[in-house]
Amino acid sequence: MQRIISVVQQEACRKIIHSLIVFVPFIAGYSYQLAYFLLSAGIVIYSWSEFQRLTGHYVPVFSEIKAKAFRSQDMIHFAKAPVTLALGAMGALALYPMPAAAIAIYALAFGDTAACLVGKSFGRTQIPCTGKTWAGSAACFATVFMLAFHATGCSITKTAAVAFAATLTELLPIKDYDNLLIPLVTGLMLL
């Protein structure tokens, strides 16, 4: 039980950071150039901090955050999740008009987060070949459905198709690359 609590706490820390991507549509509403600049700068600064970590150098703030948020497999190689997260948001902004781009980014911020936290906390039955749980997938679907329905006013059928596509993408056993694909697939479904 203590191991499960520890894993959920670590994932909660990761997903709080992950959810900060929710600010991107607001920034893009002010200036797309500023949003791209901040995401690009984030990729560069994060990548630099990762190379510092991998060569044994301490980087204030980043080192503490990584110690709390990194999974054990992230400690031995370049942890690419923040980079794919930023690239997914950039792709949504580049490919889709608002509000589709915003909903695609919110699906990444909240749908993926709900899937992880609910799956780790309450998921008992795994979906074969995915390593994911039914509870986590249901949370992803419900979250994206509510976001898309509220933000677009689309039909229930279209909104369900968007949520289903986001959930299927989150289910793929592609590790951190779901951060890239969730917003791209979600945005495409909203066109």
* Helix-helix angle 112-122:178-189, to 10 degrees: 120
Question: What pLDDT is attached to residue 156?
Answer: 94
pLDDT of residue 27: 98
> What residue type is assigned to position 82 of the chain?
P
Please state the pTM of the whole predicted model.
0.91
Q: Which backbone phi and psi does 71 adopt, to 5 degrees?
A: -75, 160
For the chain, 191 residues long, give each residue's pLDDT as a single digit of tens: 555 557 677 777 888 888 899 999 999 999 999 999 999 999 999 999 999 999 999 998 888 887 777 777 777 889 899 999 999 999 999 999 999 999 999 999 999 999 988 998 899 999 998 889 999 999 999 999 999 999 888 899 999 999 999 999 999 989 889 999 999 999 999 99
Rounded-to-integer distance, Cα 147 and Cα 189, Å: 14
- Which pLDDT score, from 0 to 100, does residue 61 have? 85
Q: Is the peptide bond before 99 cis (omega within 30 degrees of 0)?
A: yes
Q: What local confidence, expressed as pLDDT, does residue 171 receive?
A: 94
What local confidence, expressed as pLDDT, does residue 163 receive?
Answer: 97
Q: How far apart are the first and last CA of the chain?
A: 44
In sequence order, what are the beta bridge partners of 26? Answer: none
- What pLDDT shows up at residue 4? 54
pLDDT at residue 69 in the model: 78
Q: Rounded to an integer, what distance in angstroms lies between the CA atom of residue 81 and that of residue 92?
A: 16
